[in-house]
């Protein structure tokens, strides 16, 4: 049975998502539109499957055929258009990243890729044309597992199925709450922490299949209006600082559930959601969702200081293209007279293989960096796989035990600046003399060892109140010959540094503190525009006064505690307070903060005597 209010719900979901991605602050929680989609999907898929299972007409082949017709044609068109623009606009490191996402989308694992590579709310994610496909990946993973689950357990009866699904639901939602605080990226991107949202829709499908809709008009009006208020509230009050999904996701999910259950024809909410234009937007919502992120990403890539007017115009363009896609791509591919099952499956298989091979090929060639001149390629290679270079040595020693040997035991604690320092150990070949163990503390958390009552109130919830709550880390402190601390040393944590150092000295007196570094704003696109000769001039800003002030304050605090302070900034800048990321020979930093292999070598040459 077609319900126009469901299409209205889709419109209510997609509009906030698009305007959130465009950066309009009034839609600070617009990303919860995806949660609305999850509940709708769980409801519709479950309703179809159990109805067919009841009639003994369910076919897994038919199910996947419908999914392929619904999802893949418009998705493949989006991927193809995005590929063309990426080839034309992107520099090698961005093209390589795009190629990886192209391959991942082909196999519906882009959520796993984005979980590993970046956070949803990080600035860099705005330039990822296929970032939004993480939600499609979750739905597809659900579509693969859920029908098989129902087929396996249908013979045991509805009671057993509901008990099992309820158990999975509670495991998933409590895991989601835990992950939203402790592992927010995993909680956001992965199916085990999102499955409960789809299961809310599934439970609605089971309920309505058995009991039907309520006939109590007052209950329908109040419940559906409450649902609408909950969704709008989520869009307005939730933002990127909210631990999400977790229990906060219940706000839009329960709102959606109430509308599906009680917003039937005749209710006030149904009348609103069934308005002609709202339904039309709902009908094209899938294509609108697919097109908006690539359009916004490429727009931001071309215009770094993009205006709100242009962003709004790009949102409107997304809807215009979505209408064309809905009419000329989505609808024809759903017509079995035009496209047979065999044709759909062949089309799907060829598309998946083709896009994945293209993605693997571009990735293997590092975004065609070899097509640039020798001098240009030398610079551009610093941006390819740069993040992996920074992390690998550090991660290989993370949370290990010290090896029993004659080597000096060094415990390295800190954020991504500590990751740079791990590379220095290898560049100086001190790894032959040092048994290294690393421990990661995100910059946003700070290296703080304080009385819990003194912890900064604005410290993120996912940060441990005391990193020494980890008993294993305590044992490493005792066993280590030296403890090295390396961090960006955020200015708002500086007032707590002295007490932290005093407390750490009591655990291990052999502390070394490494200072932060900053090289200004790196703009690879400016490099391509102006060339190597002017790179150092156009790729930096003047040093931020707060950085220099905080560097000096950090130095004074460390020295006042009679601890050695290694000034990384001056070591890289030949004794000066500031220098360009390009020193006339090669890139020191690829992003203004973290070191290239050349930068690591340069730092190693200047501090090797200090770390022996």
- Residue 484: what pLDDT? 96
The closest of 252, 323, 228, 312 to 19, measured between CA atoms, is 312
Who contacts 594 (Cβ-Cβ below 8 Å, separation ≥6)? 386, 387, 390, 416, 417, 419, 420
For 368, the token pair is 């065609």
Distance CA 378, CA 373 (A): 8
210 preceded by cis ω (within 30°)?
A: no
Distance CA 5, CA 268 (A): 11
Residue of 191 and 575 predicted with greater confidence = 191
- Summarize pLDDT for 285-311 with one digit per residue, the tens: 999 999 999 999 999 998 878 999 999
Percent of the chain that is helix, strand, coil (3-state, to 5): 70, 5, 25
Give yes or no for residue 375 having a pLDDT over 80.
no
- Summarize pLDDT for 28-85 with one digit per residue, the tens: 999 999 999 999 999 999 999 999 999 999 999 999 999 999 999 999 999 999 999 9
- Summarize pLDDT for 16-34 with one digit per residue, the tens: 999 999 999 899 999 999 9
- Summarize pLDDT for 199-249 with one digit per residue, the tens: 999 999 999 999 999 989 999 999 999 999 999 999 999 998 888 999 999
- State mean pLDDT over 190-205: 97
The closest of 72, 121, 79 to 98, measured between CA atoms, is 79
The closest of 552, 431, 541 to 494, measured between CA atoms, is 552
145, 148, 154, 198 from 61: Cα distances, Å: 14, 12, 18, 22
Say which range, 18-27, 241-250, 437-446, 536-545, has the weakest mean pLDDT. Answer: 536-545
- Summarize pLDDT for 561-585 with one digit per residue, the tens: 999 999 999 999 888 888 878 777 7
135, 350, 541 from 193: Cα distances, Å: 12, 32, 41
Contact between residue 119 and residue 58 where contact means Cβ atoms under 8 Å apart: no
Give yes or no for residue 377 having a pLDDT over 70.
yes
Greatest Cα pair distance in the chain: 81
Distance CA 459, CA 447 (A): 12
For 370, the token pair is 């070899």
For 334, the token pair is 């759903």
Q: Which residue matches tokens 């085990």?
A: 192
Residue 500: CB atoms within 10 A of its CB come to 18
Mean of the per-residue pLDDT values for the chain? 90
Contact between residue 325 and residue 290 where contact means Cβ atoms under 8 Å apart: yes
Sheet holding 482-486, edge to edge: 434-440, 408-414, 482-486, 511-514, 565-566
Considering just the CA atoms, what is the radius of gyration of the chain in Å?
27
Give yes or no for residue 376 having a pLDDT over 90.
no
Residue 579: CB atoms within 10 A of its CB come to 21
Contact between residue 442 and residue 479 where contact means Cβ atoms under 8 Å apart: no
- State mean pLDDT over 144-157: 94
- Residue 581: what pLDDT? 82
245 preceded by cis ω (within 30°)?
A: yes
- State mean pLDDT over 391-398: 89
Residue 59: CB atoms within 10 A of its CB come to 10
- Summarize pLDDT for 90-121 with one digit per residue, the tens: 989 899 999 999 999 999 999 999 998 765 55
Chain centre to alpha carbon of residue 516: 26
Chain centre to alpha carbon of residue 320: 28
Q: Is 565 helix (H, G, I), strand (E, B) or coil?
A: strand
Contact between residue 521 and residue 539 where contact means Cβ atoms under 8 Å apart: yes
Give yes or no for residue 531 having a pLDDT over 70.
no
Distance CA 250, CA 230 (A): 9
């Amino acid at each position: 049975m077609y319900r126009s209010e469901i299409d209205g719900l889709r419109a209510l979901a997609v509009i906030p998502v698009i305007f959130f991605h465009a950066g309009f602050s009034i839609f600070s929680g617009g990303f919860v539109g995806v949660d609305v989609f999850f509940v709708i999907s769980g409801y519709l898929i479950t309703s179809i499957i159990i109805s067919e299972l009841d009639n003994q007409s369910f076919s897994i082949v038919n199910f996947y055929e419908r999914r392929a017709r619904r999802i893949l044609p418009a998705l493949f068109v989006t991927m193809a258009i995005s590929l063309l623009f990426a080839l034309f606009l992107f520099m090698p490191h961005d093209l390589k990243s795009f190629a990886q996402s192209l391959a991942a989308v082909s196999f519906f694992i882009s959520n796993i890729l984005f979980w590993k590579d970046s956070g949803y709310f990080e600035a860099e994610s705005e330039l990822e044309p296929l970032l939004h496909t993480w939600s499609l990946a979750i739905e597809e993973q659900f579509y693969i597992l859920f029908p098989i689950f129902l087929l396996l357990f249908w013979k045991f009866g509805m009671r057993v199925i509901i008990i099992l699904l309820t158990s999975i639901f509670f495991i998933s939602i409590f895991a989601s709450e835990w992950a939203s605080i402790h592992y927010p990226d995993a909680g956001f991107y992965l199916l085990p922490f999102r499955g409960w949202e789809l299961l809310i829709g599934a439970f609605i499908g089971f309920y309505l299949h058995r009991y039907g809709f309520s006939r109590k008009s007052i209950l329908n009006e109040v419940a559906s209006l409450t649902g609408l208020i909950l969704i709008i509230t989520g869009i307005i009050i939730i933002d990127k600082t909210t631990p999400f999904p977790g229990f906060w996701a219940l706000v839009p999910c329960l709102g959606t559930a109430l509308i599906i259950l009680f917003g039937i024809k005749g209710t006030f909410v149904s009348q609103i959601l069934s308005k002609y234009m709202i339904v039309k937007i709902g009908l094209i919502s899938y294509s609108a969702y697919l097109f908006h992120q690539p359009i916004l990403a490429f727009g931001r890539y071309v215009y770094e200081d993009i205006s709100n007017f242009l962003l709004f115009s790009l949102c409107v363009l997304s809807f215009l293209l979505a209408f064309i896609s809905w009419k000329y791509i989505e609808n024809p591919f759903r017509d079995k007279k035009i496209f047979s099952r065999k044709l759909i499956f062949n089309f799907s298989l060829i598309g998946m293989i083709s896009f994945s091979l293209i993605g693997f090929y571009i990735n293997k060639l590092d975004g065609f960096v070899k097509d640039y001149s020798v001098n240009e390629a030398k610079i551009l290679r610093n941006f390819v796989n740069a993040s992996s270079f920074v992390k690998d040595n550090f991660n290989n020693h993370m949370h290990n035990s010290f090896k029993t040997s004659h080597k000096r035991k060094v415990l390295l604690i800190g954020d991504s600046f500590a990751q740079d320092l791990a590379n220095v150990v290898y560049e100086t070949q001190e790894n032959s003399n040092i048994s290294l163990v690393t421990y990661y503390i995100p910059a946003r958390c700070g290296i703080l060892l304080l009385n819990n009552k003194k912890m900064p109130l604005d410290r993120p919830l996912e940060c441990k109140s005391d990193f020494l709550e980890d008993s294993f880390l305590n044992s490493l402190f005792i066993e280590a010959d030296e403890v090295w601390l390396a961090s960006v040393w955020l200015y708002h944590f500086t007032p707590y540094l002295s007490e932290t150092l005093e407390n750490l000295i009591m655990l291990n007196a052999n502390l070394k503190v490494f200072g932060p570094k900053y090289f200004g704003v790196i703009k690879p696109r400016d490099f391509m525009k102006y060339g190597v000769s002017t790179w150092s001039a156009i790729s930096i800003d003047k040093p931020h006064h707060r950085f220099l002030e905080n560097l000096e304050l950090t130095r004074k605090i460390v020295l006042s505690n009679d601890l050695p302070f290694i000034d990384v900034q001056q070591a890289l800048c030949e004794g000066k307070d500031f220098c360009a990321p390009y020193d006339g020979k090669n890139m020191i930093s690829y992003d203004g903060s973290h070191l290239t292999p050349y930068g690591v070598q340069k730092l190693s040459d200047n501090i090797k005597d200090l770390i022996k």
